[in-house]
């Protein structure tokens, strides 16, 4: 399939009648993963601090663009939102690389630290590595980058911090279902049905944290960890102190990407559903709060990293088509 055949796609998202509400639109796609129409090959990157990250690559044409993915909290290359997008990219022979954050590739990382929502330093190192590794072999084809949820927050923060310099590494970016205001997102996850998502995340986060305690005795209080029932508590005990923050409030304040949107210079598409259970619509940015390089799309429905379309059982097609069209036609 030639690159020239990529269709321009700007249709607004419309949820199917059989899947009403933000929670169903979030949960159903999580369990309805598309079958991958591609194969990954894994590469390990050794980090300067003695740790490592794993990168899952897909094949494609060296004369086509490369798309980098940064996944969400406890996500990875098998996440439904990544599989659906790469299926479309592969159709056009675009290459992909899913960079796992530390400890998210199925194996524990070596150090006491892990990853967090504001780790733009890590994002910068990873994108520098990609550029240095691929440009000599790819005829200077464009590099695009996609961040979803937590990965989208870290990406947007990096784009804002780097400003015009980000153009040296990437041609365009897309950020999907991003907790732009971490304090607001954290508060939303503490109420009502949303506590289901909190328990889901804590199930894996606490297991990893207890593993770290075995590896590094005394790293934090095991009794306090057992009592954690919210993301706020977990971040206060584990994430914040392990990554140089005073506490959860300090971590969320300094790491939220909303404050960086006005400084972004790379063409960037930000998509958040207004019924996303993780991110209240009331704190979504306005066009006056972002730079001219940022395109905001806030459909009324879609859930968190959902955006199912069509008759039952539905397809995860809207997001891939919209992102691919944005990269191909709007990132100049």
Residues annotated as catalytic are 149, 276, 304
Exposure string of 151-163, with b = 16+ CB inside 10 Å and e = fewer, is bbbbbbbbbbbbe
Angle between helices 318-325 and 80-91 (to 10 degrees): 50
Instruction: Tokens for 220, please give them.
Output: 């934090």
| 68 in Cβ contact with 97 (< 8 Å) | yes
Instruction: Tokens for 314, please give them.
Output: 């539905």
**Cα angle 102, 103, 108; round to 5:** 130
| 257 in Cβ contact with 160 (< 8 Å) | yes
What is the C-alpha end-to-end distance of the chain, expressed in Å?
Answer: 22
d(CA 189, CA 162): 30
Q: Sheet harboring 268-271: ordered strands across? A: 40-46, 52-58, 95-99, 66-70, 143-148, 172-176, 268-271, 294-297
Q: Where would I find the H helices in 73-194? A: 80-91, 120-134, 150-162, 182-188
| 223: number of Cβ within 10 Å | 7
| 305 in Cβ contact with 28 (< 8 Å) | no
Could you list the beta-strand ranges (E) of 86-244: 95-99, 143-148, 172-176
d(CA 293, CA 271): 14
């Amino acid at each position: 399939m030639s690159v020239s055949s990529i269709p321009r796609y700007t249709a607004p998202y419309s949820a199917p009648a059989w899947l009403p509400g933000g929670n169903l639109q979030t949960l159903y796609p999580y369990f309805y993963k598309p079958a991958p129409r591609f194969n990954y090959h894994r590469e390990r990157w050794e980090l300067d601090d003695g740790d490592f990250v794993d990168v899952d690559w897909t094949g494609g044409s060296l004369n086509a663009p490369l798309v980098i993915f940064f996944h969400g909290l406890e996500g990875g290359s098998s996440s439904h939102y990544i599989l659906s997008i790469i299926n479309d990219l592969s159709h056009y022979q675009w290459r992909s690389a899913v960079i796992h954050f530390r400890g998210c590739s199925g194996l524990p990382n070596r150090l006491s630290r892990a990853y967090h929502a504001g780790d733009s330093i890590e994002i910068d190192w990873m994108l520098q590595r990609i550029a240095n590794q691929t440009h000599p072999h790819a005829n200077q084809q464009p590099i695009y980058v996609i961040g979803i949820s937590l990965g989208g927050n870290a990406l947007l923060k990096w784009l804002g911090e780097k400003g015009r310099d980000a153009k040296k590494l990437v041609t365009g970016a897309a950020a999907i279902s991003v907790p732009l205001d971490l304090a607001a997102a954290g508060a939303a996850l503490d109420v009502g049905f949303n506590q289901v998502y909190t328990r889901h995340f804590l199930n894996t986060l606490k297991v990893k944290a207890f593993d770290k305690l075995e590896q590094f005795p005394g790293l934090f209080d095991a009794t306090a960890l057992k009592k954690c029932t919210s993301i706020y508590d977990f971040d206060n005990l584990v994430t914040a102190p392990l990554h140089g923050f005073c506490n959860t409030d300090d971590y969320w304040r300094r790491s939220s990407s909303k404050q960086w949107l006005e400084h972004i210079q790379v063409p960037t598409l930000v998509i958040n559903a207004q019924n996303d259970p993780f991110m209240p619509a009331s704190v979504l940015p306005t066009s006056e709060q972002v730079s001219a390089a940022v395109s905001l799309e806030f459909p009324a429905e879609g859930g968190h990293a959902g955006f199912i379309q069509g008759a039952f059982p539905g397809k995860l097609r809207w997001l891939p088509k919209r992102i691919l069209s944005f990269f191909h036609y709007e990132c100049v």
